[in-house]
Structure 1
Amino acid sequence: MKKDDSIQLKQAPDSFSPAVTPVSATTLHTDTEGLHAGETTIPSQGENLPAYLARPAEYTGKLPIVLVVQEIFGVHEHIRDLCRRLAKEGYLAIAPELYFRQGDPSDYREISELFEKLVSKVPDQQVLADLDHTAHWAAQHGGDASKLAITGFCWGGRITWLYAAHSPQLKAGVAWYGKLVGNKTLTSPTHPVDEAVDLTAPVLGLYGGRDSSIPQDTIETMRQAIRAANANAEIVVYPEADHAFNADYRPSYNAEAATDGWQRMLAWFAKYGVK
């Protein structure tokens, strides 16, 4: 077994976004036993991109890579925990702070203010480029560039669809409750429904039937776009689940849907060689 702790990582704070506190009693915590986990930085577009990394402390060969794309709330404790869960499954999981040039999501206590003053100002092209640099960095630090996957949640679910149409190196993507349609802006000129024709990696979409922020008719519109493009993509809807059903720290958490979705995600990655 190879032990590699050559990347010096800083311990991450055990904190959640102030926009969603207090946290729910259902919050899960994944320990770091057997892992190399913490904060690092990645050279990207002339700046140092902060990121949270988790991977097995000991391994042979190179590790499959999963890019973990944050919710609207940034890389807070829930996203870090998801990275550790993936690392326990044998992945190099890395979550870059994709808003860092525009601001700090922990400065906001209201979701509406967070979106208006920060998230809406983050250009999609900047995000996609940062993800490219993150994947390249991961491949230079123990990861296998030929086994690259992405998964994202809420805001990151939308980005997952976009990245699957952007990166020719990507092998698989899993999008959790990411918006599929929307108004076109300077920062977000296209949406997943527009990119279905350009999908180059297989994508699994996981959605809640009770999610009022992503109406069922928009999911059907995306399915039609996938069929028309003959794209390799699948959408699963959990009828009793709401938005953010995997967010165990929030009241929206649905343990049954979250557990099934997690297993489907791992199976999807394995099906397309990211294991």
Structure 2
Amino acid sequence: MNDNASGFAAAALPIAAQSVIHTESDGLAAGTIRLAIDGQEVPVYVARPAGQDQLPVMIVVSEIFGLHEHIADVARRFARQGYLALAPDFFIRQGDPSTIPDIPTLMAQIVRKAPDAQVMGDIDACVAWAGENGGDIDRLGVNGFCWGGRITWLYAAHNPRVTAAVAWYGKLVADPNPPGQPAHPIHVASTLTVPVLGLYGAKDTGIPVATVERMTAALGQGTSDSAIVVYPDAGHAFYADYRPSYNAKDARDGFARALAWFREHGAG
């Protein structure tokens, strides 16, 4: 495996250049593989405890900034907890987020052009690869941030074989829907069967608490044993330790809750 994550030019966007947390790869087998998916080579950062098989599988779904060093580090964090962790480069077909100078352009040129069906297929392919390469896909977790939080809710609806999922501050409602992105978590909440834990910040200006309350009510109409935690002092991207939005206290609590959620529901 190549030892590097996809390129990451932090200075191109309003984010800090240096992560607070760095997870070493000693004792891990970690690096980038390439999966052929529908005629496209998709880079996937993979991390696992070295020399071990029959590992629970964790799919790490990035934010709008794609596969960069922080996301690779999150994969290593899960690998240190005993997972075979995979973080795909979902935007490989649309472009390189690290070259985009601002968030509105990034959303318009890359993120909104990544169809949900394509993303679901990429995760399906990663799950299949994991099952053939030492992963136990009967213990399948999905963990996503921001854009990836939305995808986490949707993938849990797409693939009922997911054991458990954790969605960090993923948008729940949008109007209008971009082409190729027809559904949002609010649309699948009442029919979910997979237990999903949502982690949100009350000070997130892009995801009003009112929409989180709508989602909680919709989940209450279903049978998935899902739940949402709202951190009163957290804003958006409070887990992203390479950004000014990072909230160390709530990030630590959220990751602990995530690990406990996966263990409680059989994905650990």
Q: Deviations over 1:107-136 (max 9, x none)?
A: 212111111111111101110111001110
Corresponding residue for 1:188? 181
Opposite residue 102 of structure 1, the aligned amino acid is Q
State how far apart, in whole Å, the 2-side matches of 1:16 and 1:142 are. 33
1:127 maps onto 2:119 in alignment:
yes
- Which secondary structure does the structure 2 equivalent of 1:228 belong to? coil
Q: Deviations over 1:207-262 (max 9, x none)?
A: 00100000000000101110122332100000000100000111100011000000
State how far apart, in whole Å, the 2-side matches of 1:240 and 1:162 are. 27
Moved more, 224-233 or 246-255: 224-233
Deviation (angstroms), 1:74: 0.2
Q: Kindly tell me the number of residue pairs found equivalent between the two proteins.
A: 267
1:229 to 222, 226, 240: 222
TM, length-normalised to structure 2:
0.95
1:266 maps onto 2:259 in alignment:
yes
Unaligned runs of 5+ in 1: 1-7
Contact map agreement 2:5 2:68 (CA 8 A) in 1: no
Corresponding residue for 2:246? 253
State how far apart, in whole Å, the 1-side matches of 2:132 and 2:101 are. 37
State how far apart, in whole Å, the 1-side matches of 2:194 and 2:9 are. 32
Corresponding residue for 1:239? 232
Q: Deviations over 1:27-56 (max 9, x none)?
A: 211111101111111121232211111111
- Which secondary structure does the structure 1 equivalent of 2:35 belong to? strand
- Which secondary structure does the structure 1 equivalent of 2:221 belong to? helix
- Distance verdict in 2 for CA 1:112–1:35, change over 3 Å: same
Equivalences for 1:13-32 in 2 at 5 Å? 15-20=8-13, 23=16, 27-32=20-25
Deviation (angstroms), 1:192: 0.1
Equivalences for 1:74-153 in 2 at 5 Å? 74-153=66-145
State how far apart, in whole Å, the 2-side matches of 1:189 and 1:158 are. 12
Deviation (angstroms), 1:186: 2.2
Deviation (angstroms), 1:22: 5.6
State how far apart, in whole Å, the 2-side matches of 1:132 and 1:40 are. 16
CA RMSD of aligned residues (A): 1.6
TM, length-normalised to structure 1:
0.93
- Which secondary structure does the structure 2 equivalent of 1:71 belong to? coil
Deviation (angstroms), 1:21: 5.6
Contact map agreement 2:8 2:98 (CA 8 A) in 1: no
1:177 maps onto 2:169 in alignment:
yes
Deviation (angstroms), 1:9: 3.4
Contact map agreement 2:5 2:67 (CA 8 A) in 1: no
State how far apart, in whole Å, the 2-side matches of 1:10 and 1:45 are. 25
- Which secondary structure does the structure 1 equivalent of 2:36 belong to? strand
Corresponding residue for 2:206? 213
Contact map agreement 2:172 2:215 (CA 8 A) in 1: yes
State how far apart, in whole Å, the 2-side matches of 1:19 and 1:261 are. 28
State how far apart, in whole Å, the 2-side matches of 1:99 and 1:218 are. 27
Deviation (angstroms), 1:13: 6.2
Opposite residue 123 of structure 1, the aligned amino acid is P
Contact map agreement 2:157 2:192 (CA 8 A) in 1: yes
Corresponding residue for 1:68? 60
Unaligned runs of 5+ in 2: none
Q: Deviations over 1:56-78 (max 9, x none)?
A: 1132x411000000110001111
Contact map agreement 1:16 1:78 (CA 8 A) in 2: no
Corresponding residue for 2:151? 159
